[in-house]
Amino acid sequence: VKIVATGQATGEEKGALVGQAAASYLETIVENGDTIGIGWGKTIHQVALALRPEPLTDVRVVQMKGAANNQEQPTYAYESIQAFATAFHTFPEYLPLPVIFDQATTKQLVESDRQIARVIELGNRAPIAVFTVGTVRDSALLFKLGYFTKEEQNFLQQHAVGDVFSRFIDRDGQIVSPAINDRTIGIQLDQLRQKKHSVLVATGLAKVPAVAAALTGGYANTLVIDQDAAMELLRMGAG
């Protein structure tokens, strides 16, 4: 666990400090020939911005969940993977799809495409995963992106505490809706447990319930978090 001292920093400043700490940690674990799988969102973008060019070879960077977006909401998906790729002197491997499809059959058909299957498999085999968690507040990015009906959003807000790679989980780290999960494209949560480095980066008290659930589910073996959120995790008895 990497706890970042943030003092009286504002929310934006905390995000930058945690991003810098996560980037510094990554610089110590990435080796020649590694593949780094990443999620997206503001937190991951902060990590990407803080990365410094590394003198490594044959590193690959891949998106581990769908990244296409037709809404006027910033996900920082493409900016983040491009920054990662620049830092590690490589080309980004995009997953240019919605992260959640309207129909499971459509998602299954798309996944069977040879190029898409190659990118997904690259993410599955990556020894390093870098991700954050989402909340189930009305302001949650996945809700703003318009993937769900009002009824589905209500269900998720009643039963989930947040999401990991856009897969919604309860406080025990269990998937709350197999039907929605079957429409979601990207790495399966049980595969995160197999990673050599599964790095969860989070900041802010709102994300604490989802962080606790991700730790309970065993989806991360490294946590980079701000001091206030860490104290809240301790108060909850998480980890």
- Give the pLDDT score at 70: 65
Task: Give the C-alpha separation, 137 to 145, whole Å.
Answer: 13
Residue 9: pLDDT band by 50, 70, 90 thresholds? confident
198 Cβ contact list (under 8 Å, min separation 6): 129, 131, 192, 219, 220, 221, 222
Tell me: the pLDDT tens digits for 60-73? 999 999 988 766 67
Domains of the chain: 2-236 (3.40.50.1360)
Answer yes or no: are the C-beta atoms of 195 and 165 closer than 8 Å.
no
91 Cβ contact list (under 8 Å, min separation 6): 85
Residue 11: pLDDT band by 50, 70, 90 thresholds? confident
Tell me: the pLDDT tens digits for 71-95? 667 788 999 999 999 999 999 999 9
49 Cβ contact list (under 8 Å, min separation 6): 16, 19, 83
Tell me: the pLDDT tens digits for 178-190? 999 999 999 999 9
State the burial class of residue 57 (Cβ atoms within 10 Å of its Cβ: 0-12, 13-18, 19+). Answer: exposed
Mean pLDDT of the chain: 94
Tell me: the pLDDT tens digits for 36-61? 999 999 999 999 999 999 999 999 99
- Give the pLDDT score at 112: 94
Torsional class of 204: left (φ above 0), alpha (ψ -120 to 50), beta (otherwise):
left
216 Cβ contact list (under 8 Å, min separation 6): 171, 172, 173, 238
User: Coil, strand or helix: which one is 74?
Assistant: coil
Tell me: the pLDDT tens digits for 12-38? 899 999 999 999 999 999 999 999 999
Answer yes or no: are the C-beta atoms of 43 and 49 closer than 8 Å.
no
Answer yes or no: are the C-beta atoms of 22 and 201 closer than 8 Å.
yes
Tell me: the pLDDT tens digits for 220-233? 999 999 999 999 99
User: Coil, strand or helix: which one is 148?
Assistant: coil
- Give the pLDDT score at 75: 86
Q: Is pLDDT of 238 > 60?
A: no
CA distances from 97 to 30, 106, 178 (A): 27, 11, 20
Residue 239: pLDDT band by 50, 70, 90 thresholds? very low
User: The tokens of 4 are what?
Assistant: 């970042």
Tell me: the pLDDT tens digits for 147-159? 999 999 999 999 9
User: Coil, strand or helix: which one is 141?
Assistant: helix
Cα 70–Cα 136–Cα 143 angle in degrees, nearest 5: 15
Dihedral over Cα of 35, 12, 21, 135: its sign: negative
User: The tokens of 56 are what?
Assistant: 């490594």
- Give the pLDDT score at 10: 86
